[in-house]
Amino acid sequence: MNTAPNRAQMPYRDCVGIALFNDRGQVFLARRILTPGPDTSEVDAPWQMPQGGIDDGEDALPAAYRELYEETGIRTIRLLAQAPDWIHYDLPDEVLGIALKGKYRGQRQQWFAFLFEGEESEITLLLDNPGIDPEFDAWRWEDFDKVADIIVPFKRPAYLEVHKAFAHIPGQIRARRT
């Protein structure tokens, strides 16, 4: 008996993704806290840009502000751009029906680019906040052109779409500094 989930009948989870740039045109990456279990699908490449679900009745932009704060403690930002279309990724077969609580085939994400205008001391990852479970245990700034090669392979096509949508931003940021 085949009990494998039918990918075509599973929905995408609606989410937001955040490309957070610093004043040097680099993008923020954080390392996921990996806990053993069926949702551990990113063991080999736990670095990613912040992302998270859109709550019922919530619009994408407020969700992006909320998710960024919940995951990083960051509030001092300015909106730069929004990707023109939803960007999708599919889970690999080996975690389909397990990861994302077993409900989704992957994620459908609305991506936003923000400029970080605060001090790096604002970045806390909320590891000490008892009301929020932390998702990350480390962070770094990275060249935007390298991100698609750093993240988990099954998300690479989505990250290439994010790069295409925001490729102009690092150069614009650096040009403003001169």
Please give the domain boundaries of the chain with CATH numbers for all domains.
10-177 (3.90.79.10)
d(CA 128, CA 105): 32
What distances in angstroms separate CA 90 from CA 62, 67, 104, one per listed residue?
25, 21, 9
Based on its alpha-carbon atoms, the radius of gyration of the chain, rounded to whole angstroms, reads 16
Helix (H) or strand (E) holding 165: helix 156-166
Give the tens place of pLDDT for each residue, 45-55. Answer: 589 999 999 99
Q: What is the pTM (predicted TM-score) of this model?
A: 0.88
Give the tens place of pLDDT for each residue, 133-161. Answer: 778 889 999 999 999 999 888 999 999 99
